[in-house]
A and B are shown apart, each in its own frame.
Chain A
């Protein structure tokens, strides 16, 4: 963060390098802004994916907002977001601090922790689906009755199973972010603290945690906004079921658009998704505080 601040300051001083942003902007325009406009336009139409697109006023919006499934999808999304955050943040933070140490055994463990990062969501979903199968999965296979639950078929249990699998997939990623953050904290801070007689726990709360402020904000933004995009994993793991128990907003949008072929309503859901995502990202950046430009590092 400090590096990029200095770099951009230097760039500003030496003259315009704005042209360098053009390729990225073009991609952003073509793949984000234009489709977004298309989605907004489609949300005011009626289209089944095959025939003519006809203007339909706010009918799709009225239908979408009146549908109890939409409300339920929002609620499920909120639950998954909050639970994922509560589960993932402490684990990734602690693992990140732990793996930031330079000891050899920590490096080995770190490599092991990062294995889930190498797997695609689809592979993870298929593997967990097989492991959690109530008849042929891990529980009956190992003969452990406690594991022989109907993990994915029980409406009350399934949400927590989904949160667990999401955590299994994404904790390594956030651990990596925290590991990098911790390694940037100058050693001299800890040396000074040691001289002052601070213990490990005091060091963690008084140095590590405050120094990680922006890392925490970055990781939280990715986690919160990312949970609006959980789709592939849940689609394969539960297909939104049983019933509507895990039909969260992105999945609801997909099923409305590509299974029920109601592109108007699906586009309305897409717009809702974008608005919520932007609002969340802005809110989290605000929480970052006003002294954003101030560096935390010595000498920068």
Chain B
């Protein structure tokens, strides 16, 4: 048996094992009238943009009976595992939903995604519609392999205004302000910060912002470039120390390590008045809008940027998070599937209807020339805040777990969890992570 066959066999076995465990997670997409077996297939995520995406595909399918798309939706964490295994086994969808970064690079290295550079130069209108800084995240080794497909998702500090009024406090502008708020809220019986610690990636947002504020974006750029001992930059250890100080002071809600962000329990703590603040992605505004419409309408939920750190080198307007999500097109898809995919990207995605749908859901599409539409939205406060953040940021660092290779990302999240639980010291974290560089 040659090595390729062995690989396919192994991947198929893995896919089979996963299919058993994950079958329950998939939900059927819209039953388009003309969706057939040779339709292009698309895997997206539940939550956030689910309804906008469904609507976009539905209207595409009804107008293009020859180039239909079959949409399946999955929960975030389950999707990340499933799609990789499926792609490895040659069973992946035509449209691969992604975040760019290290994961995209591993697809590129394995030759699983199509090079879209020629397509972009032939279709300048597609290229020109995007904010250039966002488009750049789909570029690997000078070639474009992924195109942005939804909204900018910087990490934002949300807070409950009612609770701030209750204790007579102001949202924190500096790290010292933030630390001073902790005893105030605790005295009032309110948790200062909600945190979905079981999901681990919300922990990472603290490390990303603190490192950026203390040492600037170059610290992580070195890590992502696999420079030897890049984690030893003192900014990382200082950020980790600050996290442990905040945890020691009781800054995070009781039981944070058993709260899963996927079930939105972390944000619920804020709008139900149990926690005062939460550091979370721009995407939770959409779920807040759905789950707690009154809190949004009445202005109870407000937001601000991450505080500055005294003596830090980082620009206070720098941001971290996800510039957007992306569609890659599978290189293993049939020609007709590829054609349907590229046609949809050209005229189905970010059509006026799709763009407006995103804005109505409380998201900022990553396309140019939407200022007037944002200003006309009932959510204009949040949308213009996010749009301004993205437009003015000198750097927009991609979420580290996506930017790094999967092996590094997993080790980082597991060790960061240990930091929050005070099971390891910042020095141990740094040396463990230095050992993963290049893996």
B266, closest chain A residue (CB): A135
A261, closest chain B residue (CB): B406
A262 touches B81 (CB 8 A): no
Q: Which chain A residues numbered 108 to 149 have a C-beta less than 8 Å away from chain B?
A: 122, 129, 132-136
Interface size on A, residues (CB 8 A): 40
Report if B274 contacts A (CB, 8 A). yes
Report if A289 contacts B (CB, 8 A). no
Which of A151, A232, A258 has the most chain B CB atoms inside 10 A of its CB? A258
- The minimal Cβ–Cβ distance linking B37 to chain A, given in whole angstroms, is 25
A243-B417 contact in complex given A50-B87, A152-B258, A153-B255, C-beta closer than 8 Å = yes
Contact with A along B71-87 (1 / 0, CB 8 A): 00000000001001101
Q: Report which of A150, A257, A263 forms a contact with B258, defined as CB distance below 8 A.
A: A150
A136 touches B265 (CB 8 A): yes
- The minimal Cβ–Cβ distance linking A217 to chain B, given in whole angstroms, is 30
B407 touches A261 (CB 8 A): yes
Report if A299 contacts B (CB, 8 A). no
CA distance A158 to B258 in the complex (A): 10
CA distance A107 to B200 in the complex (A): 46
Q: Which chain B residues numbered 375 to 413 have a C-beta less than 8 Å away from chain A?
A: 406-407, 410-411
A48 touches B14 (CB 8 A): no
- The minimal Cβ–Cβ distance linking B252 to chain A, given in whole angstroms, is 10
CA distance A120 to B253 in the complex (A): 31
CA distance A132 to B198 in the complex (A): 14
CA distance A257 to B6 in the complex (A): 17
- The minimal Cβ–Cβ distance linking A150 to chain B, given in whole angstroms, is 4
- The minimal Cβ–Cβ distance linking B263 to chain A, given in whole angstroms, is 8
B197 touches A153 (CB 8 A): yes
Q: Which chain A residues numbered 220 to 242 have a C-beta less than 8 Å away from chain B?
A: 232, 238-239, 241-242
- Chain B positions within 8 Å of A135 at CB level: 253-255, 259, 265, 269, 274
Q: Report which of B6, B81, B107 forms a contact with A258, defined as CB distance below 8 A.
A: B81
Interface size on B, residues (CB 8 A): 45
- Chain A positions within 8 Å of B21 at CB level: 232
A259 touches B255 (CB 8 A): no
Q: Report which of B106, B255, B258, B411 forms a contact with A238, defined as CB distance below 8 A.
A: B258
- Chain B positions within 8 Å of A129 at CB level: 258, 260
Interface of A, helix, strand, loop or mixed by DSSP: loop
B84 touches A134 (CB 8 A): no
CA distance A103 to B112 in the complex (A): 65
- Chain A positions within 8 Å of B198 at CB level: 152-153, 238-239, 241-242
A49-B11 contact in complex given A134-B254, A134-B258, C-beta closer than 8 Å = yes
Report if A197 contacts B (CB, 8 A). no
A134 touches B407 (CB 8 A): no
Q: Which chain A residues numbered 63 to 79 have a C-beta less than 8 Å away from chain B?
A: 69
B84 touches A261 (CB 8 A): yes
In the A-B complex, list the 7 residue pairs whose CB atoms are closest, starting with the nearest. Answer: A134-B255, A153-B258, A152-B258, A242-B257, A260-B410, A150-B255, A50-B110
A residues within 8 Å of B by Cβ? 35, 38, 41-42, 47-53, 69, 122, 129, 132-136, 150-153, 155, 158, 232, 238-239, 241-244, 255, 257-263
Q: 11 A–B contact pairs at CB < 8 A?
A: A38-B13, A50-B107, A134-B254, A150-B258, A153-B258, A155-B423, A241-B197, A242-B197, A243-B418, A261-B106, A263-B10
Other 13 A-B pairs with CB < 8 A, given A241-B200, A255-B410, A260-B406: A49-B11, A51-B109, A53-B7, A53-B10, A133-B258, A135-B253, A150-B257, A152-B257, A155-B421, A155-B423, A238-B258, A241-B197, A259-B406
